[in-house]
Amino acid sequence: MKLATIRTIPLLAMGLALISVGHAEEREVDRIVAVVEEDVILKSELDDAITHLERQVQARGESLPPRSVVEEQMLERLIMNRLEVLRAESTGIRVSDSDVDQALNHVAQNNGMTIEQLRMALESDGIEFSEFREEIRQEMLSSRLRQRVAQSMDDITETEIDMLLASDRLGGREYLLSQIVINVPEAASPAEVSEAEGRAEEVLGQLRGGMDFAAAAITYSQGAEALEGGDLGWRNLNALPPMFADEIEGQEPGTIAGPIRTPAGFVILQVRDTRDHSQVIVREYRARHIMVEPTELVSPEQAEQRIRDLHERIADGEDFAELARSYSTDETSANLGGLLNWFPTGQYGSSIQQMLDRMEPGEVSEPFRSQSGWHIVKFEDVREADRTADAMRSQAREMLFEQRAEEEVERFLRQMRGESYVDVRL
């Protein structure tokens, strides 16, 4: 399943954004700012991460809160990243060298470079290529840990999908959201809950007074996306917990909702934009085909000769469907007279699709070859079909999974943080 809410690899998404960070600066003094289990985070690591964030924020034309606030937020992110890597490794999750190589190729391609050009660009900015590889490896470990947590959940049932579709809340408007999270500790006392709610109300008051939401998220939010200004991206109502959906449904861009009580604490939401869910219209084809597949007993040359003989028999007036039943080696369609009944573009591979694209309904193709064997295709009909219902059902399954996965991963991370030894020395 697609894990849209599970963190992917930020390094890959950002391309070469990290290249601008100068890791090679000489530092007269370095010190430990946090002990994480049996590992440590150094002041130099924290400084490098903040430098990278500053350049990102400046590129967006925004500004950061005071350095002390950013340090606290960034250190907590580094702590969580380190804990995720340690937990992944201790539970047997591995990232091979070939996995990292593939990710590096992706980074290079996204920036229009070869691997060697990527290496040179990194080294010219003072970054060791081996260090960049290790950063990508750690990001991949974290991502796979989160995916494992999500995949351990119970499957989404057809009944759940039916209930969601029956709610008439799927397929409507989508919302571009940001959030500010004020956490409440596990098993919090009423006083701790009241204190967190008071902090959330104070933040809301500053927002009502004109404070920029992204700046407020960087300053106050304890959510994983705080340093991105609380950006949640585009969400359909049903990709969100019900208490969020109830607050924002029908709201216009600029709306601020909350504080909303959640199992993790209090959340303030901002609606940045909205859009309509589009109708899904696809082109579908109806065709018949005969395939002769080379085997140990049938050489490629013999397969080609058989398909050409069959093509001549069709041209002489013999029934395509009957010949398909007798001679086609495609077991899934032979008993149906070679019928490929109403399929979307590309379903049966590029070779068949390219042939159909050159034909008109009623025509029979010349023999042609694909990776599977030799073919003849009879193009019967084409139509434009409204597949919005099918798409909505698929979207419903995906959204239910995403919503549940997001909650499960968040619960797992909170538990992991609470159970781990962390000594902050900033």
pLDDT tens readout for residues 322-366: 999 999 999 999 999 999 999 988 899 888 999 999 999 999 999
Q: Please, which pLDDT band fits residue 129 given cuts at 50, 70 and 90?
A: confident
pLDDT value of position 174: 82
Output the pLDDT for position 54.
Answer: 83
- 222 and 229 in contact (C-beta within 8 Å)? no
pLDDT of residue 171: 57
pLDDT at 62: 73
The C-alpha atoms of residue 54 and residue 21 are separated, in whole angstroms, by 10
Give percent of the chain above pLDDT 70.
Answer: 90
The better pLDDT of the pair 84, 187 is held by 84
Average pLDDT over residues 240-247: 82
Q: Are 171 and 210 contacting, i.e. CB atoms less than 8 angstroms apart?
A: no
pLDDT at 90: 92
* 382 pLDDT higher than 70: yes
Q: Rounded distance, CA 420 to CA 412, Å? A: 12
Q: Which two tokens stand for residue 178?
A: 């940001």
Residue 343 β-bridge partners: 285
What whole-number distance in Å separates Cα of residue 131 and Cα of residue 392?
44
Give the number of other Cβ atoms within 10 Å of residue 290's Cβ.
Answer: 31
Three-state secondary-structure class, residue 322: helix
User: What average pLDDT does this structure show over 400-423?
Assistant: 88
Q: Which residue has the higher pLDDT, 313 or 225?
A: 313
Chain segment 278-310, per-residue pLDDT in tens: 667 788 999 999 999 999 899 999 999 999 999
Is the pLDDT at 30 greater than 60, yes or no?
yes
State the pLDDT confidence band at 243, using cuts at 50, 70 and 90. confident
Query: Torsions phi, psi of 348, nearest 5?
Result: -105, 25
Q: What integer pLDDT is reported at residue 371 of this predicted model?
A: 85
**Hey, what amino acid is at 382?**
V
What is the reported pLDDT for 9? 40
Q: How far apart are CA 261 and CA 14, in angstroms?
A: 33
Does residue 389 surpass a pLDDT of 90? no
Range name among 48-62, 179-193, 242-256 with the lowest pLDDT average: 48-62
| Closest C-alpha to 224, from 143, 116, 305, 334 | 143
The one-character DSSP state at 114 is -
Fill in the DSSP letter of residue 223: S
Q: What is the pLDDT of residue 1?
A: 37
Dump pLDDT digits (tens) for 54-97: 887 777 777 778 888 888 889 988 999 999 999 999 999 998 98
Alpha-carbon span 302 to 308, nearest angstrom: 10
Distance CA 215, CA 226 (A): 9
> Rg of the chain's alpha carbons, rounded to an integer?
28
What does the pLDDT read at residue 17? 42
Distance CA 148, CA 3 (A): 11
Question: 34 near 417, Cβ under 8 Å?
Answer: no
pLDDT value at residue 58: 78
d(CA 375, CA 366): 8
Of 37 and 59, more confident? 37
Q: What is the pLDDT of residue 20?
A: 41
What domains are defined for the chain? 1-169+387-426 (1.10.4030.10), 172-276 (3.10.50.40), 281-386 (3.10.50.40)
In the chain, the largest separation of any two C-alpha atoms, in whole Å, equals 89
Mean pLDDT (whole number) for 303-318: 95
277 pLDDT tier (thresholds 50, 70, 90): low
Region 176-200 average pLDDT? 88
Q: β-pairing, 265-276 with 281-292?
A: unpaired
How would residue 169 be classed by pLDDT, with cut points 50, 70 and 90? Answer: low
Both tokens assigned to 115 = 């691997």
Order across the sheet with 256-262: list the strands.
231-236, 173-183, 265-276, 256-262
Q: What is the band of 16 on the pLDDT scale with cuts at 50, 70, 90? A: very low
